Amino acid sequence: MRPQALDFAPTGMIAGVDEVGRGPLVGDVVAAAVILDPENPIAGLTDSKKLSEKRREQLAEEIKEKALAWCIASASPQEIDEINILHASLLAMQRSVEGLNTQPDHVKVDGNRCPKLGVSVEAIVKGDAKVPEIGAASIIAKVYRDQQMVELDRAHPEYGFAKHKGYPTAEHMKLLQQHGVLPQYRRSFGPVKRLLEDQD
């Protein structure tokens, strides 16, 4: 669904939505939806990539305490392989909004594509740096996904997931070739796909 120009100013409750983890070779793609409380503002909300890991973790706790509603949802590596990363990202976003305990009147999504929702929705390019609700969503989604990678690292320390978070760094590629493809890898992604083909 392409973004549409709105011919009205949205009123009522606004949810911000963002996803993380489109680029990594391993793990879920994770989305979050957040409805902030205007009476309880949070300082420093922005694109999660612009924040230090420590600051992200502090803000994630504050967002969960102060927001009117928040929900984190994901799509699995199997779903990513089945429907592709773009559609899996939109699915995770849709799940995050549907999982809110308070349904918003309007949704603002980071990027240029909107998930299918039962309420009005608009896509905002670089929205995580422009819209506090989207910034908040990007922060809690990133912290959650990073924690998933740390847990995977505990189970499989030889892959270095805590360090590279699943992104295809040179070190990750070397370790992947050494140790092989775990079930958590996205088999449709080029480097993983090629490695599996070479093994056949």
Q: Which domains does the chain have, with CATH numbers?
A: 14-199 (3.30.420.10)
Q: List all residues 6 or more positions away from 51 whose beta carbon is below 8 Å from its beta carbon.
A: 44, 59, 139
DSSP 160-174: -HHHHTT---HHHHH
Q: How confident is the model at residue 20 (pLDDT cuts 50, 70, 90)?
A: very high
Q: How confident is the model at residue 11 (pLDDT cuts 50, 70, 90)?
A: low
Query: Residue 27's closest CA among 97, 68, 77?
Result: 77
Identify the three-state secondary structure at position 155.
helix
Quote the tokens at residue 22.
Answer: 């489109």
Identify the three-state secondary structure at position 123.
strand
Please report the pLDDT score of residue 28 as a whole number.
98
Q: How confident is the model at residue 47 (pLDDT cuts 50, 70, 90)?
A: confident
Give Cα 153 to chain centroid, integer Å: 19
Query: Residue 195's closest CA among 170, 171, 169, 174?
Result: 174
pLDDT at 5 over 80: no
Give the amino acid at 125.
V
- Its sign, for the CA torsion 126, 129, 133, 135, is positive
Mean pLDDT of all residues belonging to the chain: 93
Q: List all residues 6 or more positions away from 146 whose beta carbon is below 8 Å from its beta carbon.
A: 53, 165
Distance CA 167, CA 120 (A): 33
What number is the average pLDDT over the span 86-99?
98
Distance CA 23, CA 21 (A): 5
CA angle 85, 150, 31 (to 5 degrees): 35
What is the maximal distance between C-alpha atoms in the chain? 59
pLDDT at 4 over 50: no
Tokens 């909300």, residue located: 45
